[in-house]
Structure 1
Amino acid sequence: MRFSHFNFNVLDLERSLKFYDESLGLKPVKEKVAEDGTYKLIYLGDGKTDFTLELTWLKDRTEPYNLGECEFHLAFTTDKYDEVYQKHKDMGIVIFENEKMGIYFIVDPDGYWIEILPANRF
């Protein structure tokens, strides 16, 4: 057994693809499109690991997804923590900072939280 991917459902696929590319450098590595066009699955990769983030887009979905209390998140590590932090601050996507722990969270266009931590943190 090994990890494969994690899924986020998105309302605007193009907006989400742009967000993940600009904020985290994630690029599409594979996709699946329903023959009848009712859904698309786009898998994003970091170019360094085999782990992917699956973005699921449903054609008929118009209402935002209910994320509850958002007590789940995806996490990324970086060797360029200060540089990435400033980039995310400039983008206006930092939603929560925990200076004591040395981490922060950004939020994607659909409200999903993503933790950013220094590579040497854990």
Structure 2
Amino acid sequence: MNFTFVHNNFNVLDLEKSINFYNEALGLVETKRIEAEDGSFILVYLGDKSTPHKLELTWLRDRKEPYNLGENEFHLAFETNDFEKAYEHHKKMECICYENKEMGIYFISDPDNYWIEIIPGGKY
């Protein structure tokens, strides 16, 4: 029996703001959208144009309060071929939430406070 990664899901309060963030911060683009007939939810799948793995953003019409992310000890990780340029871009976006210079990585935070790890290419 084999299993392969398909997607990760983040629930978001402002779908367009999140789509724009992921596009600007990481170059992710919408690959698929599913809308409930009654308008109660929208699922948007974002891809990096390089791998089959997707980020699924879920928007729920009736959700108004921020999601409880606990201690936010989970995250996604992205590798970049130009770490310094990525760092400067995210610094300008003011979305860097944590740096670990000793490990040579940093984290950015999306509009709903999900953390994304940024790793130099070839590090892992």
Name the aligned partner's letter for residue 114 of structure 2: Y
Could you say which residue in structure 2 is the equivalent of 1:2? 4
1:103 alignment partner, one of 94, 102, 105: 105
Q: What displacement does 1:85 show?
A: 0.5
Residues in 2 aligned to 1:120 and 1:16: alpha-carbon distance in whole angstroms: 28
Could you say which residue in structure 2 is the equivalent of 1:90? 92
Residues in 1 aligned to 2:121 and 2:80: alpha-carbon distance in whole angstroms: 5
Residue correspondence of structure 1 range 31-70 to structure 2 within 5 A? 31-70=33-72
Name the aligned partner's letter for residue 31 of structure 1: R
Q: 4+ residue runs of structure 1 moved beyond 3 angstroms?
A: none
- RMSD of Structure 2 on Structure 1 (CA): 0.4
Residues in 1 aligned to 2:98 and 2:70: alpha-carbon distance in whole angstroms: 17
Aligned length: 122
Residues in 2 aligned to 1:91 and 1:31: alpha-carbon distance in whole angstroms: 26
TM-score (norm 1): 0.99
Residue aligned with 1:74, SS? strand
Could you say which residue in structure 2 is the equivalent of 1:16? 18
Residues in 2 aligned to 1:120 and 1:62: alpha-carbon distance in whole angstroms: 40
2:78 alignment partner, one of 76, 79, 82: 76
Residues in 2 aligned to 1:52 and 1:6: alpha-carbon distance in whole angstroms: 7
Which structure 2 residue ranges, 5 or more long, are not aligned? none
Residues in 2 aligned to 1:111 and 1:87: alpha-carbon distance in whole angstroms: 18
Which structure 1 residue ranges, 5 or more long, are not aligned? none
Q: What displacement does 1:78 show?
A: 0.5
TM-score (norm 2): 0.97
Q: What displacement does 1:98 show?
A: 0.2
